[in-house]
Amino acid sequence: MKDVREEYHAEGLSEGHLHDNPVEQARRWVDEAIEAGFPLPNAMTLATVSADGQPSTRVVLLKGIEGGGFTFFTHYDSRKGEEIAANAKVSFTMFWQPFDRQMIVIGEASKVDEEESESYFASRPYASQISAAISPQSQPTSREWLEAEVEALQQQHPEAPVPRPANWGGYRITPTEIQFWHGRPSRLHDRFRYRKQADGSWVRERLAP
Ligand SMILES: Cc1cc2nc3c(=O)[nH]c(=O)nc-3n(C[C@H](O)[C@H](O)[C@H](O)COP(=O)(O)O)c2cc1C
């Protein structure tokens, strides 16, 4: 690993090209990654922190940027869900390697309303609805138990819609800080950090790489 070295050729990120609102800048970067056809352009590594201060991370999928925040869907009883219930402060990172771009968001997570979770759950493929509905996410289990539960629920609901379990839904992360990192040659990378002020405006500054 020590010998793996990537040279970044990108032209970089100039302040003049940045949107004044970092949420809109984030939308641009996600849209550009989607348009470029990258695999999993909406994958984000989400960090939560336990009540006793232990961070943990996992990949989830960004499903929307609206209401000034970033939405993903999961099980509320999962490890991440329990950690968010105890401490709403979270952070996530998205990395688009072909663009040499990294985006880091810091903020607070809150549950989206029931209708939003309901309508997203209903839009998922039948098999995904079944898997989400039977899974006690983050609990120890066995493959046999999972497959038996899938079969039982398929018999109960042979086709969509499968009822959404009450413990499955969305979170929206409202940002307090967003950083945009762009790789440049010789490690002299561009970094811009936006921090939300008490009056709701954003202050932007360049950070040393
Ligand atoms: C590419 C990818 C996408 C994923 N998307 C989601 C997702 O949108 N929601 C989710 O709950 N888990 C998703 N997972 C699974 C999570 O990484 C994780 O295993 C699960 O949410 C349980 O995490 P926890 O025990 O830390 O709460 C995804 C995993 C990968 C690798």
Higher pLDDT, 64 or 187: 64
- Band (2; pLDDT cuts 50, 70, 90): confident
Would you state the pLDDT for residue 40?
97
Structure tokens at 106: 């810091």
State how far the Cα of 106 lies from the Cα of 85, in Å rounded to an integer.
17
Task: Find the 83 Cα to ligand 1 centroid distance in Å.
Answer: 15
Q: Report the nearest-CA residue for atom 10 of ligand 1.
A: 74
Quick check: CB of 40 below 6 Å from ligand 1?
yes
Mean pLDDT of the chain: 95
- Band (4; pLDDT cuts 50, 70, 90): confident
Which atom of ligand 1 lies closest to the CA of 56? 26
**Does residue 6 surpass a pLDDT of 80?**
no
Which atom of ligand 1 lies closest to the CA of 61? 8
Q: What is the mean pLDDT of residues 168-180?
A: 98
Quick check: CB of 49 below 6 Å from ligand 1?
no
Would you state the pLDDT for residue 16?
87
- Band (9; pLDDT cuts 50, 70, 90): low
Quick check: CB of 57 below 6 Å from ligand 1?
no
**How many residues are there in the chain?**
209
Would you state the pLDDT for residue 15?
87
- Band (12; pLDDT cuts 50, 70, 90): confident
CATH class belonging to 15-206: mainly beta
Q: Check if the beta carbon of residue 68 is closer than 8 Å to that of residue 174.
A: yes
What are the residue boundaries of the structural domains of the chain, listed by start?
15-206
Give percent of the chain above pLDDT 70.
99
Q: Going by DSSP bridges, is the β-strand pair 89-96/55-61 parallel, antiparallel, or unpaired?
A: unpaired
